[in-house]
Amino acid sequence: MAEFLVLGAGMVGVSSALALQARGHQVTIVDRKGAGLETSYGNAGMIQVEAAEPYALPRDLVTLFKYALEISNDVTWKMRGVVQMAPALWSYFRYSSPEKHAHISQFYSRLVARSTEDHRSLIRDAKAESLIRHRGLVMLHRNEKAFEKAAKKAAFLRQEYGVLSDIFDGKRYLKEEPALKKAQQALCILRKAGAVLRRES
Ligand SMILES: Cc1cc2nc3c(=O)[nH]c(=O)nc-3n(C[C@H](O)[C@H](O)[C@H](O)COP(=O)(O)OP(=O)(O)OC[C@H]3O[C@@H](n4cnc5c(N)ncnc54)[C@H](O)[C@@H]3O)c2cc1C
């Protein structure tokens, strides 16, 4: 048995601590705030088995231009932060090349494929079953172009990594999700089977 000190009580720190404890080690977690109050608190609450590939840093000029001017929801930034994180951003940029990204994804996808299974015991031990919906992730698209892009990506993920998905009619889906009042004309839906969505509490 060894003694471990885990810094950070987010999802990663707590999961690591529990895994070490399960192997019989003595573990202490230290956090500068409370447990689970930072990123692990404010995320979208999905267990993303469909995210077989990590997010690559975009390299096309249009997207980078939008990031620079902060006209996208993806990124907000401050010059001081960019300077502080310059070495990490440079590594992120280098490892986001199509070749390196494809190579990394081969390993990443195997870890992600286990995520529903790996969360099962954490959910059970936390008695959190009532917070989880096992209905998959549904993506609504308001126009044909966005839908076609997503459908193409889904076909790629299915072929490359075996991620299951389903495409069905938007108007029919309104019956399943009464909170949605109307479907756009071209609303289409892509359900990626296996993902888990947390119910709002
Ligand atoms: C908007 C958003 C939506 C997301 N949605 C999803 C999603 O739906 N599904 C998904 O799987 N992932 C999602 N993610 C990603 C996911 O939330 C993160 O990958 C995950 O929460 C990271 O966990 P963590 O434990 O590494 O970090 P954190 O949860 O941020 O934990 C780090 C902890 O370390 C502590 N800490 C930091 N510095 C110190 C220090 N010096 N000393 C002591 N303690 C310190 C902090 O207080 C914090 O509690 C999302 C992320 C974002 C930003």
170 contacts: CB under 8 Å, gap ≥ 6: 140, 183, 184, 186, 187, 188, 189
DSSP string, 16-83: HHHHHHHTT-EEEEE-SSSTT-STTTSS--EE-TT--SPPPPP-SHHHHHHHHTT-SSS----HHHHH
Rounded to whole angstroms, the maximal C-alpha distance in the chain is: 62
Is the beta carbon of 2 within 6 A of some atom in ligand 1?
no
Q: What is the mean pLDDT of residues 70-86?
A: 93
Is the beta carbon of 11 within 6 A of some atom in ligand 1?
yes
- What are the tens digits of pLDDT across the range 48-65? 888 899 999 999 999 999
pTM, entire model: 0.81
- What are the tens digits of pLDDT across the range 61-77? 999 999 999 998 889 99
Distance of alpha carbon 150 from the chain centroid: 16
Tell me how far the alpha carbon of residue 138 lies from the centroid of ligand 1, in angstroms.
24
At 67, which amino acid appears? Y
How distant, in Å, are the alpha carbons of 22, 153, 170, 173, 187 from that of 19? 5, 34, 42, 40, 43
* Cα 173 from Cα 189, distance rounded (Å): 8
Is the beta carbon of 197 within 6 A of some atom in ligand 1?
no
- What are the tens digits of pLDDT across the range 28-48? 999 999 999 999 998 888 888
Whether 103 and 97 have beta carbons less than 8 Å apart is answered as: no
Q: Which letter does DSSP use for residue 132 in this model?
A: E
Tell me how far the alpha carbon of residue 29 lies from the centroid of ligand 1, in angstroms.
15
Tell me how far the alpha carbon of residue 59 lies from the centroid of ligand 1, in angstroms.
25
* Cα 201 from Cα 41, distance rounded (Å): 13
